[in-house]
């Protein structure tokens, strides 16, 4: 078996959209897993420099931003990943640039994965209607009111859209995230 066969995401470019307050494990664990499969991952944010994680009730590690939303183009990426945290998606969903960027992946039929409170961004981007999804329980009602078909499962896959509930679901989430990104475009994914 050569290295290309082993690396499920060899050369795939992944946009990780995040802001201060992302849940530390929910960004770093998928990031490391995708890199281990050969993916090129870029941190995309509302600001340049670094963004800060949230970890066990306080600020945690930082990570460098690779592209601001002004510099980033969805056309350059094969997939989008939005981690959770309570503060992170609240900041992202309040900015049109983040919503346009997110919506573009759905329009381009590319895989999108999100966990915990990350799906709040998908509500604001108006891409959840009729989709099978899950999330952190506190925002379930918001997803349902937005027309999503909510499932209380560790991971829900719906034609290129991968969602999970919380850090406890990370192993199942990462498996499905890698599988869907490896498959490439999904014709049923839509804006």
Annotated catalytic sites, by residue?
116-117
Rounded distance, CA 12 to CA 122, Å? 22
Give me the least distance between CB of 120 and its own copies, in Å please. 8
* Binding of residue 146 to its own copies (CB under 8 A): yes
Nearer to its own copies, 36 or 141 (CB): 141
Instruction: Return d(Cα 89, Cα 94) in angstroms, integer.
Output: 8
Instruction: Single out the segment in contact with its own copies by CB under 8 A; choices: 31-39, 41-49, 142-150, 158-166.
Output: 142-150
Q: Determine, following the binding rule CB under 8 A, whether residue 62 of this chain makes contact with its own copies.
A: no
Q: Is 109 left (phi over 0), alpha (psi -120 to 50) or beta?
A: left
For its own copies, the closer of residues 142 and 159 by Cβ is 142
* Residue span binding its own copies (CB under 8 A) among the ranges 6-14, 66-74, 89-97, 150-158: 89-97
Helix (H, G, I), strand (E, B) or coil at 172: helix
What is the size of the binding site for its own copies (CB under 8 A)?
20
Short-list 127, 133, 131, CA closest to 151: 133
Buried b / exposed e over 130-155, threshold 16 CB at 10 Å, is ebbbbbbeebbebbeebebebeeebb
Binding its own copies (rule: CB under 8 A), the pick from 28, 38, 40, 90 is 90
2: number of Cβ within 10 Å: 6
Residue numbers of the site for its own copies (CB under 8 A)?
A: 21, 58-59, 86-87, 90-91, 93-94, 117, 120, 123-124, 126, 137-138, 141-142, 145-146
């Amino acid at each position: 078996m050569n290295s290309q066969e082993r690396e499920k995401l060899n050369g795939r470019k992944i946009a990780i959209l995040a802001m201060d307050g992302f849940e530390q494990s929910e960004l770093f664990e998928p990031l490391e897993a995708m890199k281990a499969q050969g993916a090129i991952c870029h941190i995309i944010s509302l600001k340049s420099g670094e963004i800060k994680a949230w970890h066990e009730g306080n600020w945690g590690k930082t990570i460098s931003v690779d592209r601001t939303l002004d510099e980033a183009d969805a056309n350059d990426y094969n997939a989008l990943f939005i981690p959770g945290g309570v503060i992170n998606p609240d900041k992202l969903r309040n900015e049109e640039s983040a919503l346009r960027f997110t919506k573009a992946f759905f329009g381009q039929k590319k895989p999108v994965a999100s966990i915990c409170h990350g799906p709040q961004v998908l509500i604001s981007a108006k891409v959840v209607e009729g989709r099978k999804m899950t999330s952190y329980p506190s925002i379930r009602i918001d997803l349902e009111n937005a027309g999503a078909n909510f499932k209380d499962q560790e991971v829900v896959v719906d034609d290129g859209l991968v969602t999970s509930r919380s850090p406890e679901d990370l192993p199942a989430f990462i498996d499905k995230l890698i599988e869907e990104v490896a498959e490439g475009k999904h014709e049923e994914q839509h804006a």
